[in-house]
Amino acid sequence: MIGRPASQRIEGPAGPLEVVVESPAGSPRGLAVVAHPHPLMGGTMDNKVVHTLVRAFVSQGWVAVRFNFRGVGGSGASWDEGRGELDDMLAVVAHHRTDPQWRTLPLALAGFSFGGYVAARAAVVLAEQGLRVDPLVLVSPATRYEVPAVPAHTLVVQGERDDVVPLASILDWARPQGLPVSVVPGAGHFFHGQLGTLKHLVQSHLKAFSA
């Protein structure tokens, strides 16, 4: 486990959800909710890519909330093939937007691998509810699932040598949307040795958003 604040429990759609909230110094610029990789493949909110996303958001003045999907860590219930996991992410967003100090702030979603797929789906649902997600940050979104089309301002980061989510599959998904993809040369799925590059890409995107 990477060092982090103590977790909390909030009410979820199928039982408690374990969350960790990290806040920047000073007044926050926005609220970001970050989703982790596949629960059945060892994915948790303490994944190093998730941790890197959180660090990037907090460094740029955002409150960052990460959470464990149902059946992981201190979260109740069990794996639901993506359906319940989407509900989990929406519940985390809804819970934290009840806080008066965060309710009117910009909302960002981010996710890695399976979490990227869930974040993309959550952004669609929230848009249908009239809630804009900006920015949306997807790292190697799991194309084995039906990842929806995303807004043009979405940041997509992909490792060149990813053997879990192949670069070709990401380009096939992005091409019909005319969506740019930031490819990290030599990086595999977990960005070993390249987490600093990933953090820099996300920070630069957030700086552009705040400009």
| Each residue's pLDDT tens digit, 170-205 | 999 999 999 999 999 999 999 999 999 999 999 999
CATH number for the domain including 101? 3.40.50.1820
| pLDDT per residue as tens digits for the range 41-91 | 999 999 999 999 999 999 999 999 999 999 999 999 999 999 999 999 999
Helical spans, DSSP H, in the chain: 48-59, 83-96, 114-128, 167-174, 195-210
* Mean pLDDT value of segment 31-45: 98
Residue 176, preceding peptide bond in cis (omega within 30° of 0):
no
Residue 210 has pLDDT above 90, yes or no: no
* Mean pLDDT value of segment 111-135: 97
User: Is 156 within the bounds of a domain?
Assistant: yes
**How many helices (H) and strands (E) would you count in the chain?**
5, 8
Q: What is the pTM of this model?
A: 0.97
Confidence of residue 123 (pLDDT cuts 50, 70, 90): very high
Give the mean pLDDT of the chain. 96
User: Is 48 within the bounds of a domain?
Assistant: yes
Residues of the domain holding 117: 8-210
Residue 93 has pLDDT above 70, yes or no: yes
User: Is 105 within the bounds of a domain?
Assistant: yes
Residue 10 has pLDDT above 60, yes or no: yes
User: Is 79 within the bounds of a domain?
Assistant: yes
Do 138 and 62 form a contact (C-beta atoms < 8 A)?
Answer: no
* Mean pLDDT value of segment 117-126: 98
User: Is 2 within the bounds of a domain?
Assistant: no
Q: Report the domain count for the chain.
A: 1
User: Is 106 within the bounds of a domain?
Assistant: yes
